[in-house]
Amino acid sequence: MADSQNFTGQDGTQSVSALGLRWAALRGMLNSPLITAEEQRPLRDELLRELSAIEQDFSDLPSRSTMEISAKLDIAKSALRERIHGGEAWLVDLIESIQSDLHSVAHKPASATTATTGRSPANLSRPQQQRSEETGSPSSTTSSTGSDTATSSAA
């Protein structure tokens, strides 16, 4: 099996998106009728070990967007469902509630942000542009939202 460390993000480090794709592929393989056959038991055991290692790797990776945070919550819910005992089903419900809260906070309209801060997001970037122009350095006013958008679409 390929080492999960080979799946890296664009900057050369492992990303939640890349690891999530690997996790989803392994889950798909494990659900295949070919893998559930008794003669494939050694392969299934290896896939289960790799899946477990990948699930643990998620805790070491920082999320770069709300999409990646949500993906990490999906991994936690899936792992919990498989290992849960009768009275602990509330843990999955709690994670689903947190995920729902995350989505609702992430999708609030821009006017809510403006009302809270008193300034629009456009006003927040102007001081950065002025500072770079004052110092005479080349303008590098590209915000990190571009990378967040790329990350969200990759996830």
pLDDT beyond 80 at 20: yes
Q: Determine the Cα–Cα distance for residues 20 and 39; give it in Å rounded to an integer.
A: 28
Quote the pLDDT of residue 115. Answer: 53
For the stretch 36-82, pLDDT in tens is 888 999 999 999 999 999 999 998 899 999 999 999 999 999 888 88
Label residue 24 by pLDDT band (50, 70, 90): very high
What is this structure's pTM? 0.57
Quote the pLDDT of residue 117. Answer: 53
Q: Determine the Cα–Cα distance for residues 155 and 153; give it in Å rounded to an integer.
A: 6
Q: Mean per-residue pLDDT for 88-104? A: 89
Q: Where are the alpha helices (DSSP H) in the chain?
A: 16-30, 33-36, 41-57, 66-83, 90-106, 110-117, 121-135, 145-154
Q: Mean per-residue pLDDT for 72-97? A: 87
Q: Which of residues 73 and 6 earns the better pLDDT score?
A: 73
Give the Cβ contact number of residue 62 at 10 Å.
9
Share of residues in the chain with pLDDT > 90 (%): 34
pLDDT beyond 60 at 16: yes
Asked whether the CA dihedral 97, 98, 101, 107 is positive or negative, the reply is: negative
Mean per-residue pLDDT over the chain, rounded: 73
Quote the pLDDT of residue 12. Answer: 47
Burial call 11-49: b when 16+ CB within 10 Å, e when fewer: eeebbbbbbbebbeebeeeeeeeeeeeeeeeeebeebee
Label residue 8 by pLDDT band (50, 70, 90): very low
Quote the pLDDT of residue 108. Answer: 77
Backbone φ and ψ of 33, nearest 5°: -60, -25
Give me Rg for the CA atoms of the chain: 21
Q: Which residue has the tokens 């008193």?
A: 118
Q: Determine the Cα–Cα distance for residues 126 and 132; give it in Å rounded to an integer.
A: 10
Q: Which residue has the tokens 């456009």?
A: 122
Give the Cβ contact number of residue 55 at 10 Å.
18
For the stretch 132-142, pLDDT in tens is 444 454 444 44
